[in-house]
Amino acid sequence: MATISEPEIVLYDLACTKGVCFSPVVWRIRLMLNHKRITYRTIFLEFPDIEPTLKALGLVPSETATGSKIKYTVPAIHHTPSNTYIMESVLVAQFLESTYPIPPVPLTSDLGREIETISRGVVGPIFRVSVMPREIGILSVRAQEYFRRTREAQLGHGLEELLLQEEERWNGVEDSMRAVGELMQTHKADGPFVLGARPSYTDFFIAGNLQSARVIDESVFQRIVKYPGYKEVYEACLPYMEKKD
């Protein structure tokens, strides 16, 4: 039985030198925890410590449809009342929704799926161009070494080279940025969230990405929120962003 001094959840998060959450994916879960007022404490892990720590907890990455291994990633949680460990944000979100159904957070909707699909396809890549080369600036020296090595191997070139394409890439996504922002405002007559009066997981997806950009570099955040729609969702989620660590 959990007591007041013993939180129900231990949240494994990604460390940065600012001492607050900056992972867009962990933010989705944190927003859910904060909105549902679930008690939790955070364990921040440096990039190179994620795999050994989660492995030692007995977590095992699941297989993708193509059979390739998904690696060890945060967010991961330990639900202390049931002694359950879960990794992968979607699985964590499903667990939280079924274990703590009040207040409800709809995990999917047609509009939400549309926003998330376009965001992942169009906004995500340009987001990474701006965020990745700046993210290294808020990591510890050990984590910087890991981040540069793994990300440059994926990219096939230096992190800083991304900045050379930045302006051109942003110009190329202007229309898509506006279109996604307009979709976010579909139900604005009913309230500030994507589905209207109450938040859904899509709002946490949007706000988590924006908060991540903001912690990494305010100028990237400002560049996104100038498009109508984004700031409205972000500001509506601010009450669920108070606990950052």
Ligand X SMILES: N[C@@H](CCC(=O)N[C@@H](CS)C(=O)NCC(=O)O)C(=O)O
42 binds ligand X (CB under 6 A): no
Say if residue 217 is exposed, middle or buried (CB neighbours under 10 Å; 0-12, 13-18, 19+): middle
Backbone angles phi and psi of 113, in degrees to 5:
-65, -40
200 binds ligand X (CB under 6 A): no
14 binds ligand X (CB under 6 A): yes
Q: Residue from 42, 89, 200, 211 that binds ligand X (CB under 6 A)? A: 89
Encode burial over 138-170: b for 16+ CB neighbours within 10 A, e otherwise.
bbeeebbebbeeebeeeeeeebeebeeeeeeee
Q: How far is the CB of 51 from ligand X (least distance, A)?
A: 7
# of chain residues touching ligand X (CB under 6 A): 12
CB nearer ligand X, residue 90 or residue 164: 90
- Identify the bridge partners of residue 182 per DSSP, sorted by sequence position: none
Amino acid identity, position 157: H
- Among the listed ranges 2-10, 66-74, 101-109, 137-145, the one in contact with ligand X (CB under 6 A) is 66-74
User: CA-to-CA distance for 5 and 239, rounded, in angstroms?
Assistant: 23
User: CA-to-CA distance for 232 and 240, rounded, in angstroms?
Assistant: 14
Backbone angles phi and psi of 87, in degrees to 5:
-125, 155
Q: How far is the CB of 159 from ligand X (least distance, A)?
A: 14
73 binds ligand X (CB under 6 A): yes
- Among the listed ranges 2-10, 67-75, 121-129, 225-233, the one in contact with ligand X (CB under 6 A) is 67-75
Q: Residue from 38, 43, 61, 88 that binds ligand X (CB under 6 A)? A: 88
23 binds ligand X (CB under 6 A): yes
Binding residues among 140-179 for ligand X as defined by CB under 6 A: 150
Those residues with Cβ within 8 angstroms of residue 7's Cβ, 6 or more apart along the chain or in another chain: 39, 40, 41, 80
47 binds ligand X (CB under 6 A): yes
CB nearer ligand X, residue 26 or residue 192: 26
**Using an 8 Å Cβ cutoff, are 103 and 36 in contact?**
yes
- Among the listed ranges 30-38, 70-78, 195-203, 227-235, the one in contact with ligand X (CB under 6 A) is 70-78
User: CA-to-CA distance for 71 and 121, rounded, in angstroms?
Assistant: 22
Q: What is the DSSP letter of 119?
A: I
CB nearer ligand X, residue 15 or residue 237: 15
139 binds ligand X (CB under 6 A): no
127 binds ligand X (CB under 6 A): no
Interface with ligand X by CB under 6 A: which residues?
Answer: 14, 23, 25, 47, 50, 71, 73-75, 88-89, 150
